[in-house]
Amino acid sequence: MRKSPLLAALGLLAILNAPAVFAHAHLKSETPAADSTAAAPKELRLSFSEGVEAKFTKVTVTAADGKAVKVVGIATTEGDAKVLVVTFDQPLPAGEYKVEWHAVSVDTHKSNGSYAFKVAP
């Protein structure tokens, strides 16, 4: 019986496909961009490498003084679960902000990260 070549081929195939199986939603881009200075935004847009579940995803925005910014909505854009829109009740005032996100992708994998940006006076 010649099972060795078949097993080796199957093992190689499994290894080559592993990145797709173990993928997580990684932040690809954000608006306002990390380390940028922006006009007073009324929303954030976080673009991920794969779709995320908005109802299981959390985003917190904290001002330089440590106070949390009130987030009034977290939703994916219609037709594109890779883009998460975080809305505020009013535009952010001038200052420095830290964004922390904890996302659950559509395949239920969890990922998280953070970035900072400034709002111009």
Report the C-alpha gap between 57 and 51 in whole angstroms: 11
Mean pLDDT of the chain: 88
Question: Does pLDDT of 73 surpass 70?
Answer: yes
Among 5-14, 54-63, 95-104, the range scoring the smallest mean pLDDT is 5-14
Query: According to the model, what pLDDT value does residue 24 have?
Result: 81
CB 118 within 8 A of CB 36: yes
For domain 24-119, the CATH class is mainly beta
Question: Does pLDDT of 60 surpass 60?
Answer: yes
| CB neighbourhood size of 104 (10 A) | 18
Radius of gyration of the chain, Cα coordinates, nearest whole angstrom: 19
Q: Report domain extents, the chain.
A: 24-119
Question: Does pLDDT of 3 surpass 80?
Answer: no
Region 93-105: what's the mean pLDDT? 97
Report the C-alpha gap between 108 and 25 in whole angstroms: 10
